[in-house]
Chain A
Amino acid sequence: MWIAFKRIVRAGFVGFWRNAFVSLSAIFVMAVSLFVIGSTLMVDTLLGVSLENVQDKVDINVYFVPSAEQTDIDLLQTSLESLPDVEEVVFTSREDALAAFSELHKNDETIMQGLEELGDNPLGSSLSIRAHDTSQYEGIASFLSEQQAVEDPQQPLIDEVNFIKNQEAIDKLTAIIGAVENATFIIMLVLVAASILITFNTVRLTVYTTREEISVMRLVGASNMFIRGPFMLQGIMYGMAAGVLALLIMYPLVLWLGPGTEQFFQFNLFEYFVSNFGYLFAVLVGTGILMGVISSSLAVSRYLRV
C-alpha cells in the first residue's frame, strides 16, 4: 500500500516535470480562471461595502415644530423605537440643529445675517430614524403619517416628515441597489461557470494527450488507482501553482487600485487584500486544487474504460 502510494507520488512529480510545457499551459489557464474568481470575490466585497455606504445614508427625518413639547417628542421616540423595523432613532435638539446649520452655512453671509436678524432659533428639534433595510422605510413612513393624522390640528407636533419628500428617490435607490445586486450576481455566476468549464477542458486536454499511455497502463495490468493517482496529484499541483500565480497577479493590481478605491468607495482594496490574505489564499488555492483533482480524475475515467 505504502509502496504504491510512494510510486504514485513519484510518478505524479515526474509526469508533471516531463510534461513541463503542458503543465505550464494548464497552470496558466487555471491561474486566469482563479484570477477571475478572485476578482469576482473582491468586486463582490467592494460592491457590498459601497451598497452599505449608500444604504447608511438613507434615513427618515421627523422635524418638529419649534414649540413642540419634549415629553411628546420622547413619547414618539419611544414608540418608534418599539417598531421592529427600526434600527435606531437619534434625537437632535433645537440647539444642536442650529449649531449644525450655522456650521454648514458659515460662509454664506446672507443666511447668517438673516439668522441674526431673527434673533430666536427658528429651527425645531428632529428625530432621525434608521431602518434595518431600505425597503422598511415605507412602513415607518406610514406609521408617521398615521401619527400626523391623529394630531390636534391647532397644536401640531410634527412639522414635516422628509421621507414623503424623498420617497421617490429612496424607492429608486432601493430598486437600483436590487438591480445592481442581481446583475452582479448573474455576471459573476457566468464568469465563474465559464472559468470552471475552461479549467475542466484544459485539464481534460492534458489528460487527452496521454490517453494512449492510459490504455497501455491498463493493458500492462496497472490498477485504476495506480493509473489515476499520478494524474490526480498533477491536478493538485496545477491547482496549487495556479492559485499562487493568481494571487501573485492580483497583488500588484490591488496595490495599484488601492488608493483609487479608498477615495471612491471609502474602502481600500489593497488593505482588504492584505488583511484577508489567508482567506483569499485558502479560497483560490483550495478552489484550484478541487478543480484540478475533480477534472483530472473525471478526464482519466473516460480513458480507463478499456
Chain B
Amino acid sequence: MNNKINFSRFFTIANIFSLLAVIISILFLFFKGLNYGVDFKGGTLLEIRVENKNIKIQDLRTSLNILELGDVNVKQFGEEGDFLIKFEKNANKNKKFITDLKNNISKKINSAVNFRRVETVGPKVSSELLKQGVTAIILALSAMLFYIWIRFEWQFSLGAIVALLHDVIITLGIFSILSFEVNLSIVAAVLTIVGYSMNDTVVIFDRIRENLLKYSKLKTNEITDVSVNETLSRTVITSLTTLLALFSIFILGGEILKGFSFAMILGVIIGTYSSIYVASPVLNFFKVTQKTLLKDENI
C-alpha cells in the first residue's frame, strides 16, 4: 500500500473550508448575482475592429454614450483595436439599426469600423434560454444522481450529489465574485464540470466499494483513506492532462473560448478537490461499511 497521505486527518478542516466557500458563494450569488451576458439578459453584443489603432476605449465609450443605447459596456477584446461592446437595447425593432449604428460609430471616432460579430437577443428569448440552461443543469444533476444510485448505494449517491452541488455553487460563486460574464457557453462548461467531477468521484467510489469488500476490519475513514491514496496518482495525472488541454485553449484558443475554458479550469480544480474532500467524507459520515454493501446484492 502506498498509503502515504492521511487525507482523513484534514477532512474536518476541509469540510469547514468547503462549507465557508459554499456559504460565501451563495451570499455572493444572492446579493451580487451573476453578470449575465446578452444570452440571458437580452440586449446586443458587438465585437468590432477599428482600423485606426490609436482609438482609445474612452473615445469609443463617449461616442456610444450619445447614442442612447441604455446601459453600455465597452471593453478591449484581444488584439489592439478590437473591442467588445454590450448594451441593453436590442436591434429587433428597427431593422436598419445595425447599419445606422455602424455608420454612427465610424463617423464619431473617425475611423473605419468592422463589425466582426453581432448578437442580439430579445427579452423573451433570453429568459427562455436562461430557463433552459437552469433546467439542463438540474436535469444533469438528477441524471447523475440516478446513475450513481443504480450503480452504488444511496450514501454514495448523496456523497456524489453533495460534491457536485459544491462544485457548481463554488464555480458560479467565483464567477459572481469576479463579475465574469455568464453566457450559454458557461452553461456548457458547468455541465461538463458536472460530468468531470462525477467522473472523478466515481473512480474513487469504485475503489472504496472494492476496498470495503476486501478489508472487512478497517473503519470507514481508513477505507476512504486507502482508496483515495490508491487512486491519487490517477486523479493527479488525469487532472493534469485535462488542465494541459484547458490551459492551451485558455491561452491560445482566442477570446471567445476564454470564459468557457476559465470555467472549466476552475471546475476541474474544484471537482478534483471535492471528490477527495467532499464526496468521501459523506461516506464517513454515514459510516458506510461492508454491511451497507452486502445488505442488497447489487455490488
- The answer to whether A and B belong to the same complex is no
